Amino acid sequence: MSDTILVAVDIAGCAPEVVAETAWIAAGLKARVVLLHLAHLPVGVHAGDAVRTGTHPEGASALSTLDDDAREHMALLQAILADKGVPSEVLIRHGDPLHGILTAADEVDARIIVCGTHGRQGLQRMLMGSVAEEVLRRARVPVLVVRTLTPGALEDVTPTQRQVAVEAEG
């Protein structure tokens, strides 16, 4: 069995950069990649809240809408890996990012964890925290942090995530 690389991705913003960096590492190691996304509900939105979006004009639960959005984005990331001949699978989970990443790493027997970072500093970092930094501190396996440099990659939500928040506000 090949080694497994767990890649924790936030589907908004810089995920393609993180996956592209991982692809060439995984290809060289003949490793498989598990793409992990931890879907989170916007503040004030409940899992069962009905929302209407472009993909769900008839309405669907907020959680299923976000999960569908994540699957769509993850398919694009899997295509980056497939282009390099890297086998991959997708995990979509809910809850605390730190706990979710560490738990998934154990479950898939990851040899390494890859996380992206926007490189926020100062007040932004203090207010938003750094999941990558906490993963570095607590993981039982090596962690590779990919600093992304794409201008404008600091967008923190996808259009569907934004629409779910707007619909829930009412």
Per-residue pLDDT tens over the stretch 123-148: 444 444 578 888 989 999 999 988 77
Count of structural domains within the chain: 1
- d(C-alpha 62, C-alpha 38), whole Å: 14
Most confident range (mean pLDDT) of 10-19, 65-74, 80-89 is 80-89
The per-residue b/e assignment along 3-30, b for 16 or more CB within 10 angstroms, e otherwise, is ebbbbbbbbbbbbbbbbebbbebbeeee
User: Could you tell me the residue range of the domain that residue 44 belongs to?
Assistant: 4-169
Phi, psi of 30 (to 5 degrees): 55, 45
pLDDT of amino acid 9: 87
119: domain CATH number? 3.40.50.620
For the beta carbon of residue 120, count every other beta carbon within 10 angstroms. Answer: 14
Average pLDDT of every residue of the chain: 78
User: Taking residues 108-117, what's their average pLDDT?
Assistant: 92
User: Taking residues 112-130, what's their average pLDDT?
Assistant: 63
pTM: 0.78
Residue predicted with more confidence, 130 or 50: 130
Most confident range (mean pLDDT) of 111-115, 133-137, 147-151, 157-161 is 111-115
pLDDT of amino acid 40: 73
Q: Is the per-residue pLDDT at 22 higher than 50?
A: yes
Q: Is the per-residue pLDDT at 23 higher than 80?
A: yes
